Chains A and B, each alone.
Chain A
């Protein structure tokens, strides 16, 4: 909103190149500009300066966009709060909206809805309920279903697992990664979970006060616990534990321990070495 009393620059001179097929995680403190950046990727927000290219689409400052509908078919976006995405009278109609909008018949659309439910672990029984009469986690699942049902080629996920129960959170991340591979998607995940960023991303992008301050593969980014803490972030739990063991055992461990399995392997190796 330039030139209004509320003018406030949420993003500043961002340069980022995402390759087709990459899985990118965006991390950063509260208010650092992650959601603002995510909303530029499907044309919901337009840059006040500079340009964005997604596939063959260009979004430029001071220019009208003609093909936003096509862009939105290409780029599926899961909003930070599911309430910002849900709107129809029933869960069924809400999820069917995209397919109908992109040209499916009613039968096709409702069949697609039924096919997507088990993937996001939603009960058939909820289909005729209002999406606003659901629990927080159920709303989240409906919002995600409404995006996945359109088979976008680019997935932009803004805190997609907030509000899900622990098993749901893991299953949903597994769903995203398997779709990412099977359908050769490009995925952008905004997350406060350092664990997910480390375990799933090829490229981690770090935001601080509207600027992009670091980008690189997880093992490069999570090398710097002190810098990360200064900007509200941390290293994944697996690495936190590894660092505690290093200190207590006066030893050195690898810096890329990003899954529990890798952590357990490292610990067993350490214990074996000690017993020889």
Chain B
């Protein structure tokens, strides 16, 4: 059994005293080294949940949010939790603090007490990882939307956290850029064994993960492998989602009388199944 890294037990939360519950009785376990996707409709509570995972929001009771065994309710743990959990925010502007790209990446490193010499090396390494090494002297606020996202990602990579949360962190990247950035994170996962929590509306990204959690109105309705999750069509549609590309094509083929034997999560699956169908006929 893999080590349990993050545990949430019965977490409920409202922003306003007299408002509705934004999270209601959420339970969740994430294991070390997993690539987890969190999907769900707009306003379902994904970003709010993420803020509990790096102690930006704190539960009222003990034993509700545990990160690597640290209970975030204890103030003395908060610092350590934030050091271990790096979060790339949904809007990179919320993360930009300095007047140059270099200082922006440095800011996070200073905060966790990295010595200057190592800082220089880490900044260079992280900016290279996201293909932004030519922009060290630029003003972050004068970058394009996607360039800002790359800087925000570099800032977190440089801190080398053991858990990375990406909150729609690649939504403004071009198709190849998105592949490259995710590939970089995948490599870090493989090399350093980090755990990745990817909040995304991109179903193809969700297909490429170990576990998918589906949020619906502040609740985690179902979770499991992508293969399991994306066959729960009703739950998926109910949560504001759609079927991934290949499954949708498969479904439409079925309605035309062509039944494929296995669920096709990827284009490769689909081509293989079509090939089998051809051999049968």
Contacts and interface: CB of A to CB of B under 8 A. Distances in A.
Given A163-B90, A264-B249, A271-B274, A234 B176 contact: yes
B47 A136 contact: yes
B256 A264 contact: yes
Given A165-B240, A167-B240, A271-B274, A30 B267 contact: no
B173 interface: yes
A267 interface: yes
Contacts of B176: 29, 229, 232-234
B245 interface: yes
Given A29-B177, A81-B145, A260 B42 contact: no
B142 to A, nearest CB: 7
B68 to A, nearest CB: 28
Interface stretch (A45-53, A102-110, A240-248): A240-248
B277 interface: yes
Nearest to A123: B43
Contacts of A34: 144
Contacts of B267: 237, 240-241, 244
Interface of A: 6, 28-31, 34-35, 80-81, 83, 133-138, 140-141, 159, 162-170, 192, 194, 229, 232-234, 237, 240-241, 244-245, 248-249, 260-261, 263-264, 267-268, 271, 274-275
A31 to B, nearest CB: 4
B275 interface: yes
A141 B142 contact: no
Interface residues of B, number: 49
Given A30-B146, A268-B256, A136 B172 contact: no
Nearest to A167: B240
Given A165-B42, A232-B174, A234-B176, A241 B201 contact: no
A274 B281 contact: yes
A253 B10 CA distance: 53
Contacts of A244: 267-268, 271
Contacts, number: 143
A108 B136 CA distance: 50
B42 A135 contact: yes
A29 B174 contact: yes
B252 interface: yes
Given A6-B142, A165-B42, A241-B271, 5 more contacts: A30-B150, A162-B171, A165-B240, A170-B242, A241-B249
A31 B256 CA distance: 43
Interface of B: 15, 40-43, 47, 90-91, 93, 139, 142-147, 150, 168, 171-178, 201, 203, 237, 240-242, 245-246, 248-249, 252-253, 256, 258, 267-268, 270-271, 274-275, 277-278, 281
Contacts of B281: 271, 274-275
Given A81-B93, A271-B277, A159 B172 contact: yes
B145 A167 contact: no
B172 A245 contact: no
B172 A162 contact: yes
B274 A138 contact: no
Contacts of A30: 144-147, 150, 172-174, 177
B242 A271 contact: no
Contact of B145 (A35, A233, A260): A35
B146 A31 contact: yes
Given A168-B240, A241-B267, A192 B173 contact: yes
Given A165-B241, A166-B203, A241-B267, A192 B42 contact: no
A83 B268 CA distance: 39
A265 to B, nearest CB: 9
14 contacts: A6-B142, A30-B144, A80-B172, A192-B173, A194-B175, A233-B174, A234-B176, A240-B267, A241-B271, A248-B271, A248-B275, A249-B278, A271-B258, A271-B281
Nearest to B243: A166
A83 B148 CA distance: 14
A260 B181 CA distance: 27
A167 B41 CA distance: 8
Of A194, A229, A244, A267, the most chain B CB neighbours within 10 A belong to: A267
